[in-house]
């Protein structure tokens, strides 16, 4: 074991620190959209967007260790994200790089890196959630085109996306339901697509129902083989789980939560000095540290060429319980004012913690619920019979 940085790695860390010194502090007070645009341009020039992707497709070709360093330094400084095409960077891009042909790579990857437009993910259906492979969205071939009919649901940011990675059923008479699923890359402005936003419990509408009626998709927009969509999805979901398990976002949230506990006064003392609150913060922080180290241990395995499968479920489970616990802790810390929403002076930090405490379903339910993760661990790792 060795956690020391090599001289090259230390040099890279210093490069990152110098960049953040130069580009972050000065602008922190005016972090508006203009500023964010400039930031995105600069990190793109550095090739830190898609940093782990191969150089041939425009990525940064960063080593695993460099990625760890970059993310850690960014989290410590609470830097804004590297890139703006969230799903494109998290799993659509990696899927295209793995399963796409040359034209597809050239057509889609640069725009994902530049954040030209958004991608959304059309997997879930009203009757196919946890049991995703039971999906029914119909798809028939007609010459050089596929014709798609069906409904998707919970499609995050469908209303602002230009593209969708869509799962459809191209074959129904299969022995195993996972066969007969195909993955398509679909333009959202294709005739026959209707998007109906769904209001969620925090009052926003960031996901939607997507209705597809006789939507024509060119065959060249198929990702991977016909009937090979499940394979594409499994690797995409693993990417989603590992990106959801990203510990650095949590590290950052934790820093903010500690600040909140330091700045909040409860009955004459700082909230952080209340033993029960301090304990809960400590417990959460230890879980986050264990996620960081789990991630590094699994990366080492991967680098040694050992296959990495269901381990990502470990951190996804931690993340799910932490997301809930940290929201509840913020409520506990801020007391009676905790339920006040944005728009009044009394709301702590303009209601952002109240909003956070309503936001956990995205990571807890999205990408597979805790029950499903526990099934994965007990069946695939511990070898218990399927239920």
Ligand X SMILES: Cc1cc2nc3c(=O)[nH]c(=O)nc-3n(C[C@H](O)[C@H](O)[C@H](O)COP(=O)(O)OP(=O)(O)OC[C@H]3O[C@@H](n4cnc5c(N)ncnc54)[C@H](O)[C@@H]3O)c2cc1C
Catalytic residues: 240
Residue with tokens 């210093």: 14
Phi and psi at residue 272, in whole multiples of 5°?
-65, -20
Smallest distance, ligand X to C-beta of residue 3, A: 35
Scan residues 128-167 and list those touching ligand X (CB under 6 A): 129-130, 154-156
138 sits near other proteins (criterion: CB under 8 A): no
Instruction: Map residues 300-339 to x or -, x wherever contact with other proteins holds by CB under 8 A.
Output: xx--x------x--x--xx---------------------
Beta carbons within 10 angstroms of residue 371's beta carbon: 9
CA 336 vs CA 92, 276, 292, 332: distances in Å: 42, 17, 34, 9
- For residues 67 and 151, which CB has a smaller minimum distance to ligand X in the complex? 151
Q: Are 223 and 232 in contact (CB under 8 A)?
A: yes
How far apart CA 105 and CA 364 sit, in angstroms, is: 31
10 sits near other proteins (criterion: CB under 8 A): no
- For residues 169 and 318, which CB has a smaller minimum distance to other proteins in the complex? 318
CA 118 vs CA 61, 152, 157, 169, 267: distances in Å: 23, 18, 8, 24, 47
Instruction: Map residues 264-303 to x or -, x wherever contact with other proteins holds by CB under 8 A.
Output: --------------xx-xxx-xxx-xxx-xx-xx-xxx--
Residue 19: which residues within 8 A CB-CB, separation 6 or more? 42, 46
DSSP string, 51-62: TTS-GGGT----
DSSP string, 246-289: -HHHHHHHHHHHHHHHHH-EETTEEGGGSHHHHHHHHHHHHHHH
Q: Residue 130 binds what, of other proteins, ligand X, none (CB under 5 to 8 Å, by partner type)?
A: ligand X
Helices 275-303 & 64-76, crossing angle to 10 degrees? 160
Q: Can you read off the two tokens belonging to residue 202?
A: 């925090």
Smallest distance, ligand X to C-beta of residue 384, A: 13
Smallest distance, ligand X to C-beta of residue 377, A: 13
5 sits near ligand X (criterion: CB under 6 A): no
Instruction: Map residues 47-86 to x or -, x wherever contact with other proteins holds by CB under 8 A.
Output: ------------------x--x------------------
Q: Residue 358 binds what, of ligand X, other proteins, none (CB under 5 to 8 Å, by partner type)?
A: none
Q: Residue 207 binds what, of ligand X, other proteins, none (CB under 5 to 8 Å, by partner type)?
A: ligand X
Length of the chain: 387
Smallest distance, other proteins to C-beta of residue 13, A: 12
Smallest distance, ligand X to C-beta of residue 126, A: 8
144 sits near other proteins (criterion: CB under 8 A): no
Q: Strand, helix or coil at 301?
A: helix
Q: Are 183 and 233 in contact (CB under 8 A)?
A: yes
Q: Which of 66, 95, 118, 124 binds ligand X (CB under 6 A)?
A: 124
51 sits near ligand X (criterion: CB under 6 A): no
The contact set with other proteins (CB under 8 A) reads 1-5, 9, 65, 68, 258, 278-279, 281-283, 285-287, 289-291, 293-294, 296-297, 299-301, 304, 311, 314, 317-318, 371, 373-375, 377-379, 381-387
């Amino acid at each position: 074991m060795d956690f020391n940085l090599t001289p090259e790695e230390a040099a890279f860390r210093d490069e990152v620190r110098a960049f953040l010194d130069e580009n972050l502090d000065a602008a922190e007070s005016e972090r508006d959209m203009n500023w964010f645009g400039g930031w995105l341009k600069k990190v793109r020039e550095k090739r830190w967007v898609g940093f782990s992707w191969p150089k041939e497709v425009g990525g940064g070709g960063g080593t695993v260790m460099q990625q760890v360093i970059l993310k850690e330094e960014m989290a410590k400084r609470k830097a804004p994200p590297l890139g703006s095409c969230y799903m494109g960077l998290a799993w659509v891009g990696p899927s295209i790089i793995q399963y796409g042909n040359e034209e597809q790579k050239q057509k889609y990857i640069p725009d994902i890196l530049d954040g030209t437009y958004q991608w959304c993910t059309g997997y879930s259906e009203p009757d196919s959630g946890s049991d995703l492979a039971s999906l029914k969205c119909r798809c028939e071939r007609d010459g050089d085109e596929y014709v798609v009919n069906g409904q998707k649901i919970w499609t995050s940011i469908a209303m602002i996306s230009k593209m969708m990675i869509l799962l459809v059923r191209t074959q129904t008479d299969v022995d195993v339901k996972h066969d007969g699923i195909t993955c398509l890359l679909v333009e959202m402005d294709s005739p026959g697509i209707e998007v109906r936003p769904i209001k969620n419990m925090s009052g926003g509408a960031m996901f939607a129902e997507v209705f597809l009626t006789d939507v024509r998709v060119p065959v060249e927009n198929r990702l991977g083989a016909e009937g090979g969509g499940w394979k594409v999805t499994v690797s995409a979901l693993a990417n989603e789980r590992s990106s959801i398990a990203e510990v650095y976002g949590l590290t950052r949230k934790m820093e903010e939560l500690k600040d909140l506990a330091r700045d909040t006064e409860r009955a004459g003392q700082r909230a952080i000095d209340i033993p029960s609150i301090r304990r809960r913060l400590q417990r959460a922080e230890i879980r986050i540290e264990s996620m960081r180290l789990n991630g590094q241990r699994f990366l080492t395995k991967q680098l040694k060429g050992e296959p990495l499968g269901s381990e990502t479920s470990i951190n996804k489970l931690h993340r799910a319980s932490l997301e809930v616990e940290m929201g509840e802790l913020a409520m506990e810390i801020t007391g009676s004012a905790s339920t006040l929403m944005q728009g009044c002076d009394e709301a702590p930090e303009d209601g952002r913690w109240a909003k956070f405490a309503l936001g956990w379903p995205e990571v807890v339910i999205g990408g597979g619920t805790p029950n499903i993760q526990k099934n994965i661990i007990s069946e695939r790792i511990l070898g218990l019979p399927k239920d």
